[in-house]
Structure 1
């Protein structure tokens, strides 16, 4: 049985390719963090071991995506 991938939009994020605001979604696939723009199709990924936890505990941040 396959599990449906949960995708979340990143509020306030701007696509580096098309510059659209609020068009970037974040999701995990095969233990790799993925970013995708729903407007232009821009895609970037980062292996799970490179994802850093947010250092500010008072904010509700899942992780910090830092593409190379």
Structure 2
């Protein structure tokens, strides 16, 4: 029996293929995030390493808090 994936819908997101709004659902399986349009089936996949790499490259640190 397979475990059902929990879908989280992304408010205000527009599908790049069919341009439908509020149809993008985010799921995560084995450390891989997948965004799927429930209207047309368009999928985008990104691993956590890819997400962290992009965030870190574009991140600007103002200061480091040390208690």
TM-score higher than 0.5 here? yes
Name the CA distance, whole Å, in 1 between partners of 2:38 and 2:2: 23
SS at match of 1:11: coil
> Which ranges of structure 2 fall in alignment gaps of 5 or more residues?
60-67
| In 2, Cα distance between equivalents of 1:3 and 1:48 | 21
Q: How does 1:1-68 map to 2 (within 5 A)?
A: 2-52=2-52
Q: Which runs of 4+ in 1 moved over 2 A?
A: 1-4
In our comparison, the structure showing a higher alpha carbon Rg is: 2
Compute the TM-score of the two structures, normalised by the length of structure 2. Answer: 0.69
Gapped regions of structure 1 (runs ≥ 5)? 56-68
- CA-based RMSD of the aligned residues comes to 2.0
Tell me the TM-score normalised to structure 1 length. Answer: 0.68
Give, in angstroms, the shift of residue 50 of structure 1. Answer: 1.8
Q: Which has the higher helix share?
A: 2
